[in-house]
Amino acid sequence: MSRSLLALALLVLAAYTLSFAFADLLTVGPRDRLATWARNNPESVAAQAGRDLQSLELAHGLRPWDADLAADLGRMSEWITRDGTPWSMESSPWRRQAIGYYQTALRLRPGWAFAWAHLAQARLLIGFPLEEILAPLDKAMVLGPAEPGVQRKVLWVGFSLWARLNEDLRARLATVLFQTLEHQAPSAIGMAVHFNREALIRDALQREADRAMLERLLAARERH
């Protein structure tokens, strides 16, 4: 290899390395905020989410093969809707954008239960036909039976659609619910009460603390 070709190769490698590092730098703040928001569920984050979306879009342009970045873009697009009603027309363009990013993530990583679960929820919130919600929901259940975040998302979507589900799907969701009770009892109990499905879990609660929590949540629901 001539010196000029070697120099060119080194230059290309250096540019690639720098672009990769720059993409990483662009994601640090947005990913930290996504993690914090997922824990704390804040309101009024649309302005910050919009700025973070621009950073993630630039990073994804540098790393278009990165499924994690595509999913982060989907989640950030959905956070922009947090300042309004989740089901409102104003949130529709952002959710459609999120759906596109989740689909990109799944083209890059088809077996990713996390992205399938987020796709199912986004489609539900925008009013997709039932079969187009159940298809990714089924993928999430099959591919992520032991993933806590996936289980919670599956339950939320499933309980939202409960009245429209057949007995087989209800039984499968009940299985997910019982699995979630073992490792994430507060989340499972809270979700069951929120969706008026406490009858599914009442007899399954073995710990006194869990039974007490159920009664507190039921009492709070009655007061409101």
Q: CA-based Rg of the chain, rounded to a whole angstrom?
A: 21
What pLDDT score does 191 carry? 92
Tell me the Ramachandran region of residue 9: left when phi exceeds 0, alpha when psi lies from -120 to 50, beta otherwise: alpha
DSSP string, 86-142: TTSGGGHHHHHHHHHHHHHHHHH-TT-HHHHHHHHHHHHHHT--HHHHHHHHHHHHH
Q: At residue 91, does pLDDT exceed 70? A: no
Distance between CA atoms of 204 and 180, rounded to whole angstroms?
12
Stretch 43-49: mean pLDDT:
87
pTM: 0.86
Helix axes 113-126, 92-108, angle to 10 degrees: 160
Count CA atoms closer than 13 A to 213's CA, side-chain side.
Answer: 18
Tens digit of each residue's pLDDT (9 = 90 or more) over 142-188: 999 889 999 999 999 999 999 999 999 999 999 999 989 888 999 99
What pLDDT score does 19 carry? 59
Tens digit of each residue's pLDDT (9 = 90 or more) over 94-144: 999 999 999 999 999 999 999 999 999 999 999 999 999 999 999 999 999
Domains of the chain: 1-110 (1.25.40), 144-224 (no CATH)
Stretch 208-215: mean pLDDT:
94
Nearest to 112, CA basis, from 68, 69, 153, 73: 68
